[in-house]
Structure 1
Amino acid sequence: MTIATRSGKGALCALAFLGFGIAAPTPNSPEAAENGVLIGPSGVEVLPSFRNKFPAADFNRPVTEPYWQTEIIGKADDSVKKTLDAMANASFIAFEPEFYQVLGISDYSQEKEVEPIFEFPPGPTWANRVVHDGSVYAPECNCLFVAELHPPKKGFSMQFLPWVWRTSLNGSTPVTEKVYPNPPLTIANGAHYFNGSVYWAQEGNYTTPGGIVRMNPITLQTEVVLNNFMGHRFNSPNDVVITKSGVAYFTDGYYGFANFNDTIKPELANGVYRWDMAAGRVRMVAGAGTGLFINPNGVALDATDDILYVTARGFTSADADGNRNIYKFSRSDEQGMLSPPQLLTYADAGFPDGVKVDANGRIYGGVAGAVDVWSKDGTLLGKIKVMADDTAVNMAWVGKWLYIFGRSRIYRVLLT
């Protein structure tokens, strides 16, 4: 990815530094709008002419690959490859003018930095990838927490990890290290901060039922606060979000059994649960019984707690029939019901894993190669890129800073 610099010369060197050997044209040069893509020092703007008619006679892109890795089949003008290279090396890709409001710049000609701040060590040989999910900020420690998971290769099982990662923001630069909750979490995924505690959705394993765990962000002491539905084990709780009034929504999919080989056979349909934490009432409010979800995943609320967003993956990320959707529900605390779902968006690269909402109601989703940003109505505004070998998994806000947690690295970007 392009690491933006303050000088024009530095910006022109950034692409060459990454090994592509090309420099971004100046914004007003004729080649800036070649093939319908405007190229700036650290970002590009993709015009409708490029989006609507890809400039090659034959092409293809698997659903797991990002936009800029579209494969050109057969012959094509060299300028098409240069255009894709420019997109691959950008820090951001804009599709709509509103995206510049998000970034806090006027247009594609201004520089914008996406800063890598930490690189995770590689995963074990028995894992097919590393995932960092459940990103959450706790003001008591002025720090961020994120869980680590090692989805296994075929024939292996997910293994218990006693640590989570903590990024302290108390010094002049962020410091990231392993910390050890006590008792340890059992395959932790999503997390949410509420009333002085971090609440984790933990998947569980063969001997520990999954559920919701509360953690003190200072002492790291943990306590299981929910672990069953009427005596049934949950399947694999994945993510949790809590309203200001103390109503939690969490997703429960088949990941542990179907993908990670580390839990018992599911006893329940996968879906979304509502937990009134004060009254202790738990019930499913959306799920596979309605034909809506296959493996629900991330959850988020808007600033007013009136809208609930839920992502779904499908059976695998590579499945062309997979959900890869973000659904939008209106909610009512009085009745505890969700409105019929609206399909907000279908992701073009991978599936939206973690999902967050900003103060203006825009939705952010971690996908292959980037964080996608959508408007309230589901229009894709743009992509905040991560490095070429990385996938964005989840995010957390700290003031105007958006911290992005990838499989390989942590990034941050200052937004408006």
Structure 2
Amino acid sequence: MTTVSIADIQVLPLEVKIADRIAESNGSIQFVSQLKYQSPQLTSPRPFESPPTSDTLTIIQYSPELGTLIGPSPTHSLLLSTLTTSKNPFFHEACVYLPRTDELYLTSNLLQSSSTSLYPTILISRLKLTRSPSSLQPNTIAKLDWAKLRPPPGIDMPNGGTAYREGILFCAQGSVVPGTGGIYYMPRTAPPQALVKGWYGREFNSVNDVVVTRDGGIWFTDPCYGFEQGFRRRPELPNQVYRFEPTTGECRVVAGEWERCCGICFSPDERRCYVTDTGMVHGDGTRDLMRPATIYVFDVVYEGGQPFLKGRRTFAFPTRGVPDGVRCDEHGNVYAGTGAGLEIWNEGGCLLGRIDVPGGKGIANFGFGKEGEIFLCGEQRLWVVQLDGGKVEERRRVEEEERRRVEREREEEAERRRVVEESEVD
């Protein structure tokens, strides 16, 4: 397929609204204050000098802790949009960033065929990013080349993914054709390889999300959305979470009793596992507000030399919609794509804030890029957010080093004076 080049990408400051939690808990949505970051480094128009555009993102801050993450001058850019062209939802899932090549891979939502006799399809998008050479805006995306790719043979209806070795692990949801679906490794320069396609003779339902732990274990979720959306055969298994050991070929069920398990991730120390349940939303789009829309957390414990998920408990419930994709940052904070946009909790389950996206549908997934960089998949739109929290921590580190330097100089000066005074006495 052809490649589309996008240049002159605007970098815009992010508006931050500080919510009044007490007022909101009493049923009134109020904001204590509104911060408009106007960084002098930005050369693009200021979006809040006039009414915000339909592509504008907004940060809602519920806790002062969020300030450490977002920093003094967070920004965002709209990278791609199909709203005024095909309106196709090309930016739905996966959102896998490969740092070595500075590339981003995404999967689309269902793309309907023009023929009623054909099943829907899913395409893979590959974005080659070009960074700004400006020292004022280092690592800012200045240009991208967007290629839409048909999934290679075997990777039927790809959904979630994660970086793996020299390529990507893709979740192939499968099709109505027997023997399809599973976890596939797609190297950048070689045909894909099937790693696990079923559980002891039974096909998976429609593998949704995948993560790899440091010991090489491959953990993935398997809900029944493919069947509900009409492109997969009737399920042969319950909706479950699995762990696959590639060195032995062993595939274990590690968590059951789900409505629809979707996103999965681990804490930085891998002692906790987070799994989202999107049971509130059925495959045909209907919703049952009494069903789960929940992030659950498990303890990872070892018995008989094998990892188990124990102590299942509710971690968080989103402010809007369902939590789909979920990830942890290096500090243990938990991020999830929800009906509002991107919601962020600390490791204690307290909501720190969220990044609201326009359109009223939120995001299904997102991905971390370079330091402080987050890509947001908004179906017909793709944004990148640049948080500035790293600069806050760096500034604190520099300030602490400067404080210690001043203290050392004072101590050295006091010691010199003491020596001089003692010599004068002698």
TM-score (norm 1): 0.74
Q: Match for residue 302 of structure 1?
A: 267
> What is the CA–CA distance in structure 1 between the aligned matches of 2:329 and 2:28, rounded to whole Å?
35
Match of 2:347 among 348, 373, 376: 376
Task: Assess if the C-alpha contact under 8 Å between 2:57 and 2:357 holds in 1.
Answer: no
Q: Match for residue 17 of structure 1?
A: none
Match of 2:69 among 95, 99, 102: 102
**Amino acid aligned to 1:411:** W
Task: Assess if the C-alpha contact under 8 Å between 2:107 and 2:158 holds in 1.
Answer: yes
Q: Report Cα offsets for 1:205-264 as digits up to 9, x if no partner.
A: 1105210011013x2631221101000001111000010111011001111112x11111
Q: Report Cα offsets for 1:61-95 as digits up to 9, x if no partner.
A: xxxxxxxxxxxxxxxxxxxxxxxx99x97610000
Matched, 1:197 2:164: no
Tell me: CA distance 1:354–1:96, structure 2 relative to 1, closer, same or farther (3 Å). Answer: same
Match of 1:280 among 237, 249, 263: 249
Q: Match for residue 59 of structure 2?
A: 92
**How far is 1:299 from its partner?**
0.7
- Return 5+ residue gaps in structure 1 as ranges: 7-40, 57-84, 106-110
Task: Assess if the C-alpha contact under 8 Å between 2:107 and 2:159 holds in 1.
Answer: yes
Deviates more, 1:367-376 or 1:182-191: 182-191
> What is the CA–CA distance in structure 2 between the aligned matches of 1:270 and 1:94, rounded to whole Å?
35
Q: Match for residue 214 of structure 2?
A: 244
Task: Assess if the C-alpha contact under 8 Å between 2:324 and 2:337 holds in 1.
Answer: yes
> What is the CA–CA distance in structure 2 between the aligned matches of 1:46 and 1:195, rounded to whole Å?
42
Tell me: CA distance 1:273–1:175, structure 2 relative to 1, closer, same or farther (3 Å). Answer: same
Q: Match for residue 150 of structure 1?
A: 110
> What is the CA–CA distance in structure 1 between the aligned matches of 2:315 and 2:340, rounded to whole Å?
20
Deviates more, 1:348-357 or 1:169-178: 169-178
Q: Match for residue 43 of structure 1?
A: 16
> What is the CA–CA distance in structure 1 between the aligned matches of 2:164 and 2:230, rounded to whole Å?
31
**Amino acid aligned to 1:298:** G
**Amino acid aligned to 1:222:** P
> What is the CA–CA distance in structure 2 between the aligned matches of 1:322 and 1:277, rounded to whole Å?
35
**Amino acid aligned to 1:185:** I
Query: Per the alignment, in what secondary structure is the counterpart of residue 67 of structure 2?
Result: helix
Task: Assess if the C-alpha contact under 8 Å between 1:294 and 1:323 holds in 2.
Answer: yes
Query: Per the alignment, in what secondary structure is the counterpart of residue 199 of structure 2?
Result: coil
**How far is 1:143 from its partner?**
0.5
> What is the CA–CA distance in structure 1 between the aligned matches of 2:190 and 2:290, rounded to whole Å?
41
Q: Match for residue 392 of structure 1?
A: 363
Q: Match for residue 75 of structure 1?
A: none
Matched, 1:187 2:187: no
> What is the CA–CA distance in structure 2 between the aligned matches of 1:54 and 1:42, rounded to whole Å?
23
Q: Report Cα offsets for 1:81-113 as digits up to 9, x if no partner.
A: xxxx99x976100000011111013xxxxx532
Matched, 1:414 2:386: yes
> What is the CA–CA distance in structure 1 between the aligned matches of 2:85 and 2:262, rounded to whole Å?
22
Q: Match for residue 55 of structure 1?
A: 28
Query: Per the alignment, in what secondary structure is the counterpart of residue 173 of structure 1?
Result: strand
Task: Assess if the C-alpha contact under 8 Å between 2:356 and 2:362 holds in 1.
Answer: no
Q: Report Cα offsets for 1:41-68 as digits up to 9, x if no partner.
A: 8121111232111239xxxxxxxxxxxx
Q: Report Cα offsets for 1:339-382 as digits up to 9, x if no partner.
A: 12121011121111111110000011111131000110111110
Q: Report Cα offsets for 1:114-147 as digits up to 9, x if no partner.
A: 221111468989x9x7661011112342201011
> What is the CA–CA distance in structure 1 between the aligned matches of 2:193 and 2:204, rounded to whole Å?
17
**How far is 1:197 from its partner?**
2.4
Q: Match for residue 233 of structure 2?
A: 264
Matched, 1:253 2:223: yes
Deviates more, 1:261-270 or 1:308-317: 308-317
Tell me: CA distance 1:347–1:132, structure 2 relative to 1, closer, same or farther (3 Å). Answer: same
Tell me: CA distance 1:220–1:346, structure 2 relative to 1, closer, same or farther (3 Å). Answer: farther
- Return 5+ residue gaps in structure 2 as ranges: 1-9, 30-50, 132-141, 390-426
Q: Match for residue 322 of structure 1?
A: 291
TM-score (norm 2): 0.72
Matched, 1:211 2:182: yes
Query: Per the alignment, in what secondary structure is the counterpart of residue 337 of structure 1?
Result: strand
Aligned identity (percent) is: 24
Q: Report Cα offsets for 1:4-55 as digits up to 9, x if no partner.
A: 857xxxxxxxxxxxxxxxxxxxxxxxxxxxxxxxxxx812111123211123
Aligned positions, number: 336
Task: Assess if the C-alpha contact under 8 Å between 1:396 and 1:404 holds in 2.
Answer: yes
Task: Assess if the C-alpha contact under 8 Å between 2:57 and 2:358 holds in 1.
Answer: no
Higher Rg? 2
> What is the CA–CA distance in structure 1 between the aligned matches of 2:67 and 2:118, rounded to whole Å?
44
Tell me: CA distance 1:98–1:246, structure 2 relative to 1, closer, same or farther (3 Å). Answer: same
Q: Match for residue 226 of structure 1?
A: 196
RMSD: 2.8
Match of 1:133 among 85, 93, 99: 93
Task: Assess if the C-alpha contact under 8 Å between 2:154 and 2:180 holds in 1.
Answer: no
